């Protein structure tokens, strides 16, 4: 099993990389080389998903990746009429276009061996919508649609495709999102039914399960791991 986790230098991606390391040969990618080196993976690729997608695609083919975890992503908070063309282009490329391209590069080998696992890390914002984060919500909703279509397209090749939609997660990105929003941490927790943030390790363990043979019947699904946030308040 050759596993690639994008955005593996911190937060959810790092937790997933640590959790999956024992399953096979782990490969990681992010912009921070020193953080990637700390993971002691089988290999790593330092890159920015907005600029280096083709190089990462070649890395995927070279290392015969058959488990792809599209975790890397960016968050932008602000009203739609404040967004610049550069911001719009960057978030769509990072969160949706590049993950789609990476899948296209990994699938040929998966088809060849009649086995593969693709896990996209979405967001509860892509399921419910988030005011003042429309670009983020749109890109994460795109991953959900992509997951459904590809699950149908690749089912006969024994390739599963699923999306995990975290809610508020106790990570650097999650805390940054709070700082950019108009709500305090306490106000946000008050809106979460379990009154807590999800831990990155919870997402990592779900990813591990989705890779396992026990989960081979789960495909095309959008799984909300959000401490009840998607259900209501």
202 Cβ contact partners less than 8 Å away, ≥ 6 residues apart: 225
Cα–Cα distance, 167 to 182 (Å, whole number) = 17
The packing angle between helices 53-62 and 98-113, to 10°, is: 10
DSSP 22: G
Q: Give the pair of three-digit tokens for residue 166.
A: 């975290």
Phi, psi of 3 (to 5 degrees): -110, 135
CB of 39 closer than 8 Å to CB of 28: yes
Give 102: exposed, middle or buried? Use CB within 10 Å, 0-12, 13-18, 19+: buried
The catalytic residue among 27, 44, 77, 136 is 136
Cα–Cα distance, 221 to 233 (Å, whole number) = 24
75 is catalytic: no
Please give the C-alpha separations between residue 19 and each of 16, 38, 70, 132, 212, in angstroms, as whole numbers.
5, 14, 15, 33, 13
Please give the C-alpha separations between residue 185 and each of 10, 79, 176, 203, in angstroms, as whole numbers.
21, 21, 11, 21
Distance of CA 108 to the CA centre of its chain: 21
Query: Catalytic residues, which ones?
Result: 136
């Amino acid at each position: 099993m050759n596993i690639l986790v994008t955005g593996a230098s911190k937060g959810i991606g790092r937790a997933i990389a640590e959790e999956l390391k024992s399953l096979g040969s782990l490969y990681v990618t992010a912009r921070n080389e020193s953080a990637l080196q700390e993971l002691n993976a089988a290999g790593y690729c330092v890159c920015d998903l907005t600029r280096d997608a083709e190089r990462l695609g070649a890395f995927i083919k070279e290392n015969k990746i058959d488990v792809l975890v599209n975790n890397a992503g960016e968050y932008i908070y602000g009203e739609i009429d404040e967004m610049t063309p550069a911001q719009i282009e960057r978030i769509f490329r990072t969160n949706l276009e590049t993950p789609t391209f990476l899948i296209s590069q990994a699938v040929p080998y998966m088809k060849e061996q009649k086995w593969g696992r693709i896990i996209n890390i979405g967001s509860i914002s892509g399921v419910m919508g988030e005011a003042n984060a429309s670009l983020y919500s749109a890109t994460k909703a795109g991953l959900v649609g992509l997951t459904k279509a590809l699950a149908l397209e690749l089912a006969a090749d024994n390739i599963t495709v699923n999306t995990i939609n975290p809610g508020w997660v106790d990570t650097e990105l999650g805390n940054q999102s709070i700082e950019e929003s108009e709500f305090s941490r306490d106000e946000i927790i008050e809106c979460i039914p379990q009154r807590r943030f999800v831990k990155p390790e919870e997402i990592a363990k779900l990813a591990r399960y989705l890779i396992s043979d026990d989960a081979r019947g789960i495909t095309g699904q959008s799984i909300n791991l959000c401490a009840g946030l998607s259900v209501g308040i």
